């Protein structure tokens, strides 16, 4: 088995199977490949997310050096190690603030956060809530497998109530977080849900997120083939309904709120809510009016300006 195949790439020589290339920049799927072999379990939903992200960047013409993928800690947070892109694999729960810092220092680069349900909705929950209302230009892909897989099977913030795991042998007591509604309530300006089992559709959603002005949350239903025997590929596939084909209007907050309440027999996927009316955080930061701070020379404070600072202290 070749590395490329293992890594869930497109087919053949790295070109996309239907002969498509990145629009106009000479990019091919191969540009996003590395030699690294994922350590994910065979059939892991993360493969679908990896394939979708590469496809989305390719289709958007975003070259590997123009993006940075900031991840947390968990199976899926190893993703930036498995594709050719700038990567920063940070701490459990902390990729959002790291990514925000990066974005504010260099808004010329595309910043994508990849983490899991434990990272985003659990240990990093505070950052998540504040990121929603802050609205920095980040695309946030949450690999939501409803379990802690890297620590081998404990319940997560999205685990369904009553699930037996090693830390809930009698069944988990807490009700799961509803990430869509929580994000809506916290003021997120782009809230969507995708499914790792349909990477083409997922890639389309990531592209939409990349087009969004501010913070874009994409909660991704991700089967964990090893530790989650309930929320399987087929379990999701049977329940998925498409907001788009059901005539949902993503500009309608109340409709989004109503649809976000569905998670059971029907699980809506697609864009729940989107508004481009709210400027991205970095658009309003006074210190960025002169452009990305990383691009300015470090010694651009001239003698007169420094003396003026001193004179304020007289």
Site for other proteins in 10-69 (CB under 8 A): 10-12, 16-18, 34-36, 40-45, 47-48, 51-52, 55, 63-66, 68
CA–CA separation, 276 and 193 (whole Å)? 18
Minimum distance of other proteins from residue 190's CB (angstroms): 20
Of the pair 173, 313, the CB lying nearest other proteins is at 313
From 148-156, 179-187, 260-268, 270-278, span contacting other proteins (CB under 8 A): 148-156
Contacting residue, 160, 201, 244, 283, with other proteins by CB under 8 A: 201
From 98-106, 174-182, 186-194, 253-261, span contacting other proteins (CB under 8 A): 98-106
| Residues numbered 242-301 forming contacts with other proteins, rule: CB under 8 A | 285-290, 293-301
Q: Which residue is listed with tokens 């909705």?
A: 121
How far, in Å, are 70, 248, 250, 270 from residue 245 at the CA level?
Answer: 32, 8, 12, 9
Closest CA to 201 of 61, 76, 48: 48
| Residue 298 burial (10 A CB sphere; 0-12, 13-18, 19+) | exposed
CA–CA separation, 190 and 48 (whole Å)? 22
- As separate numbers, helices (DSSP H) first and strands (DSSP E) second, the chain gives 10, 8
Looking at residue 87, the DSSP 8-state letter turns out to be E
CA–CA separation, 53 and 42 (whole Å)? 19
Contacting residue, 60, 78, 117, 219, with other proteins by CB under 8 A: 78
Of the pair 254, 314, the CB lying nearest other proteins is at 314
CA–CA separation, 95 and 73 (whole Å)? 9
Distance of CA 180 to the CA centre of its chain: 14
Contacting residue, 28, 61, 89, 244, with other proteins by CB under 8 A: 89
From 82-90, 185-193, 246-254, 267-275, span contacting other proteins (CB under 8 A): 82-90
Minimum distance of other proteins from residue 250's CB (angstroms): 21
CA–CA separation, 217 and 206 (whole Å)? 10
- Counting contacts by CB under 8 A, is residue 195 touching other proteins? no
Of the pair 169, 264, the CB lying nearest other proteins is at 169
CA–CA separation, 294 and 103 (whole Å)? 11
Q: Which segments of 73-180 are extended strands (E)?
A: 86-89, 110-116, 138-144
Of the pair 114, 184, the CB lying nearest other proteins is at 114
Minimum distance of other proteins from residue 255's CB (angstroms): 25
Minimum distance of other proteins from residue 225's CB (angstroms): 4
Of the pair 30, 213, the CB lying nearest other proteins is at 30
Closest CA to 72 of 114, 129, 37, 100: 114
| Residues numbered 101-130 forming contacts with other proteins, rule: CB under 8 A | 101-106, 108-109, 126-127, 129-130
Minimum distance of other proteins from residue 212's CB (angstroms): 20
Minimum distance of other proteins from residue 312's CB (angstroms): 9
């Amino acid at each position: 088995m070749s590395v490329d195949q293992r890594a869930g790439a497109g087919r053949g020589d790295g070109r996309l199977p239907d002969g498509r290339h990145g629009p106009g920049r000479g990019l091919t799927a191969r540009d996003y490949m590395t030699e690294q072999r994922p350590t994910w379990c065979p059939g892991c939903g993360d493969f679908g997310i990896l394939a979708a992200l590469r496809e989305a960047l390719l289709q958007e013409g975003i070259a590997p050096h123009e993006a940075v993928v900031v991840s947390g800690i968990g199976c899926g947070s190893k993703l930036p190690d498995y594709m050719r892109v700038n990567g920063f694999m940070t701490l459990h729960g902390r990729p959002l603030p790291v990514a925000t810092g990066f974005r504010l220092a260099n808004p010329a680069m595309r910043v994508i956060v990849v983490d899991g349900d434990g990272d985003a909705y659990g240990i990093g929950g505070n950052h998540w809530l504040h990121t929603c209302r802050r609205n920095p230009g980040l695309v946030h892909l949450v690999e939501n497998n409803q379990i802690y897989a890297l620590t081998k099977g404990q319940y997560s913030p999205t685990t369904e109530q009553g699930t037996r795991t090693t830390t809930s042998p009698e069944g988990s007591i807490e009700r799961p977080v509803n990430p869509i509604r929580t994000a809506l309530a916290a003021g997120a300006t782009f809230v969507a849900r995708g499914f790792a089992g349909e990477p083409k559709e997922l890639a389309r959603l990531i592209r939409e997120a990349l087009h969004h002005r501010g913070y874009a949350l994409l909660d991704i239903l991700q089967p964990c083939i090893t530790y989650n025997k309930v929320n399987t590929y087929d379990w999701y596939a049977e329940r998925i309904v498409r907001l788009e084909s059901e005539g949902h209007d993503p500009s309608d907050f109340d409709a989004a709120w109503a649809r976000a309440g569905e998670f059971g027999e029907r699980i809506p996927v697609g864009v729940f809510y989107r508004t481009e009316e709210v400027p991205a955080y970095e658009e309003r930061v006074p210190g960025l009016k002169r452009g990305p701070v990383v691009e300015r020379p470090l010694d651009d404070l001239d003698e007169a300006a420094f003396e003026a600072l001193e004179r304020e202290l007289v």
